[in-house]
Amino acid sequence: MTETSTETPFYPMPRAAACPFAPAPQVREIAAAGPISKVRTWEDKVAWLVTGYEELRALFPDPNVHLDNKHPNFPYISPAMKALAELSPRTMFNTDGAEHARFRRMLAKPFTPKRLELLRPLVQKAVDERIDEMLAAGDSVDLVRALGLPVPSLVICELLGVPYEDHEYFQRSTEIGFDSNTSLEEAQQITIEMLGYLNKLLESKLENPGEDMISDMAELVRAGELQSWEAALQAVGFLAAGHETTANMIGLSVLALLERPEQLALLRDIDDPKLLSSALDELVRYMSITHTGLRRVAAADIEIAGETIREGDGIIFDIGAANWNPETFPDPETIDVTRPNAAQHLAFGAGRHNCIGLQLARLELGITLQTLFRRVPTLRLATTIDQISFKEDAMVYGITTLPVEW
Ligand code: HEM
């Protein structure tokens, strides 16, 4: 699919300042008109945009829908992502089929429900200590810096075996890496630096292994099952995806719930783990933070919704549009933490590439929100929502600062 036309809308489309939590209005209009359409990317190439809920459910697991970012028609998010894809080896982030399953099997162990339950006390301690510090320091704080970013960063450091003292470095690098305005040169430099940093850690874990994922990967490198370059790149991916996503969800959720005190109270008081999980899913559905589209390429002709996606066509999944589909989620613009089918959202993806960290994200989000609202009942915004700066240009949506007081 090579034709371009000025009438083909450019993607991604901006969210509206007046409705900062809602998917872009233009995407919602496109979704209302039909489940699949065509858009233009920054390379002036045409790709299919899938916004329909049922169509995404069908295409996510389709074996002919590939995440092959080395394919010439892959619809890259930005010039920097294109250059990085050309540089990077094969990992779980850009393979499919047996190759992807092999990578995923190697790395899935720490994310089993049993292993994650063991992390619960660590997450609770991290949250309690950050809130103790917050309360001891005064009566106002930037909640992103004080709680939202430190909690998932501490947890992913523990899981991977990365020293938390380096958090300023990797948080900043991730933020720059996820910004679509970052230049190609800057993105390359940051990735090479992060790869060097994690490679050094891998080498040190070969000498002195610990109970962590980088030590496990070092062992796989020693056994010849993984190249050190592949291991380092996967560690970069886990480090970045493991803190920036959940941190953004914490910031956005606190902001949205402070504006909706009845929903805040409902969520704060949930004791049943199943109901809590569903309430958190509602927040994840509502925010749909991976808002610049999940990218794919067709490995064969695919018939869907009366259209033929041809082999080699680029495909973009807009999960926000599907998560706000009024037929699947009635009254989608309302946060309803008791929504019965919230767990059916697509904000963690679906199929073989679905989020490996989704249970961890729920664990961190649940403990952080409930503990914060229980321990600081007078928490309120120290500004107005129109003063908050949203990460419109980032691959993962969020807020940079959240001034609160109590
Ligand atoms: C609320 C927080 C999170 C959200 C909304 C989120 C969202 C997503 C989405 C949408 C995907 C699918 C990407 C695609 O299909 O192209 C994904 C994959 C992934 N996520 Fe998350 N994520 C979150 C938290 C985490 C955490 C905490 C970790 C790690 C500890 C993590 C690690 C990963 C990895 C490694 C993948 C790639 C899986 C694969 O390709 O097989 N994520 N995530």
Got the DSSP string for 91-106?
-TTS--HHHHHHHHHH
pLDDT tens digits for 264-275? Answer: 999 999 999 999
pLDDT at residue 6 is higher than 70: no
Gap from CA of 140 to ligand 1 centroid (Å): 32
> What gap in Å lies between CA 302 and CA 67, rounded to an integer?
15
Find the mean pLDDT for residues 199-212.
Answer: 93
Model confidence at 285, in pLDDT bands (50, 70, 90)? Answer: very high
Gap from CA of 5 to ligand 1 centroid (Å): 34
> What gap in Å lies between CA 406 and CA 141, rounded to an integer?
9
Task: Tell me the CA distances in angstroms from 34 to 285, 302, 384, one per residue in order.
Answer: 20, 17, 36
% pLDDT > 90, the chain: 82
* Ligand 1 probe mutation, 119, 236, 245, most atoms within 8 A of CB: 245
> What gap in Å lies between CA 19 and CA 249, rounded to an integer?
17
pLDDT recorded at residue 5: 59
Q: Are 309 and 50 in contact (CB under 8 A)?
A: no
> What gap in Å lies between CA 158 and CA 278, rounded to an integer?
27
Find the mean pLDDT for residues 307-331.
Answer: 98
* Smallest CA separation from ligand 1 atom 40, residue: 353
Residue 252, ligand 1, Cβ within 6 A: no
- CB atoms under 10 Å from CB of 8, counted, come to 18
Q: Is the dihedral of CA 200, 202, 205, 206 positive or negative?
A: negative
> What gap in Å lies between CA 113 and CA 156, rounded to an integer?
16
Model confidence at 88, in pLDDT bands (50, 70, 90)? Answer: confident
pLDDT at residue 339 is higher than 70: yes
pLDDT at residue 284 is higher than 90: yes
pLDDT recorded at residue 180: 79
Number of the ligand 1 atom closest to the C-alpha atom of 361: 27
pLDDT at residue 9 is higher than 60: yes
Find the mean pLDDT for residues 362-367.
Answer: 98
Residue 349, ligand 1, Cβ within 6 A: yes
Residue 136 Ramachandran class (φ > 0 left, ψ -120 to 50 alpha, else beta): alpha
What integer best gives the mean pLDDT of the chain? 94
Residue 85, ligand 1, Cβ within 6 A: no
Number of the ligand 1 atom closest to the C-alpha atom of 354: 12
> What gap in Å lies between CA 292 and CA 77, rounded to an integer?
7
Task: Mention the CATH class of domain 25-405.
Answer: mainly alpha
pLDDT recorded at residue 178: 81
pLDDT tens digits for 240-271? Answer: 999 999 999 999 999 999 999 999 999 999 99
Find the mean pLDDT for residues 225-252.
Answer: 93
pLDDT at residue 54 is higher than 80: yes
Find the mean pLDDT for residues 375-381.
Answer: 98
Find the mean pLDDT for residues 292-313.
Answer: 98
pLDDT at residue 134 is higher than 90: yes
Got the DSSP string for 211-263?
SSHHHHHHHHHHTTSS-HHHHHHHHHHHHHHHHHHHHHHHHHHHHHHHT-HHH
Gap from CA of 337 to ligand 1 centroid (Å): 22
Gap from CA of 290 to ligand 1 centroid (Å): 9
pLDDT recorded at residue 187: 83
Number of the ligand 1 atom closest to the C-alpha atom of 67: 16
Buried/exposed code over 172-203 (b: 16+ C-beta within 10 A; e: otherwise): ebbbbbbbbebeeeebeebbeebbebbbebbe
> What gap in Å lies between CA 115 and CA 211, rounded to an integer?
12
pLDDT recorded at residue 4: 56
Model confidence at 81, in pLDDT bands (50, 70, 90)? Answer: confident
Model confidence at 84, in pLDDT bands (50, 70, 90)? Answer: confident
pLDDT at residue 331 is higher than 70: yes
pLDDT recorded at residue 406: 98
Find the mean pLDDT for residues 144-168.
Answer: 94
Residue 194, ligand 1, Cβ within 6 A: no
pLDDT recorded at residue 83: 82
pLDDT recorded at residue 2: 52
* Smallest CA separation from ligand 1 atom 3, residue: 245
Task: Tell me the CA distances in angstroms from 135 to 31, 94, 141, one per residue in order.
Answer: 45, 44, 9
Model confidence at 186, in pLDDT bands (50, 70, 90)? Answer: confident
Gap from CA of 359 to ligand 1 centroid (Å): 10
Find the mean pLDDT for residues 280-304.
Answer: 97
pLDDT recorded at residue 137: 92
Q: Are 348 and 370 in contact (CB under 8 A)?
A: no
